[in-house]
Every structure is written in structure tokens, then in C-alpha cells.
């Protein structure tokens, strides 16, 4: 496997991992917000699907950025 293939594999794996973690975190935040004794109006008016997509996209960006940063660091050595 060449360097280019390993780089893209790392980017894909980190991106997928970030997306899964982002979705899980946003779902946990939604559940915590809704089970609160006195939920805020923001909690009641936000769209849960929007919140989940936001978490997935943030996780994806974080994962891809981490992969690029790690690859850059390894390449520098």
C-alpha cells in the first residue's frame, strides 16, 4: 500500500469515527435536554434532526482535520 493510499485510508477512518462520535454526542445532548426537569425553550423548539446533522458534520470536520494534522506531523519527521 502506497503513502497516498494510507493517507486517504487514515482520512476516511478518522472522518467516519468523528461522525459517529459527533452523532452520539449530539443525541446524548438532545436526550439530556429533553429529560431535564425544566427544559428551556431553545431545547423545545430545536429540530432534533438538525442537531444530529450538526453533530455529525462537526465530528466529520474534526476527524478529517485530525487525520490531516497527524499525517502532516508524520511527514515532517
* Model pLDDT for residues 7-66, shown as the tens digit of each residue: 899 999 999 999 999 999 999 999 998 888 888 888 888 898 999 999 999 999 999 999
- From residue 64, alpha-carbon distances to 27, 29, 38, 47 in Å are 21, 23, 37, 26
Would the pLDDT of 5 be above 80? yes
Amino acid at each position: 500500500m502506497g503513502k497516498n493510499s494510507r493517507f486517504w485510508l487514515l482520512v476516511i477512518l478518522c472522518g467516519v469515527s468523528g461522525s459517529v462520535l459527533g452523532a452520539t454526542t449530539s443525541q446524548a445532548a438532545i436526550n439530556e435536554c429533553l429529560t431535564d426537569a425544566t427544559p428551556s425553550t431553545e431545547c423545545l423548539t430545536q429540530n432534533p434532526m438538525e442537531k444530529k446533522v450538526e453533530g455529525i458534520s462537526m465530528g466529520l470536520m474534526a476527524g478529517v482535520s485530525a487525520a490531516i494534522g497527524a499525517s502532516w506531523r508524520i511527514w515532517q519527521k
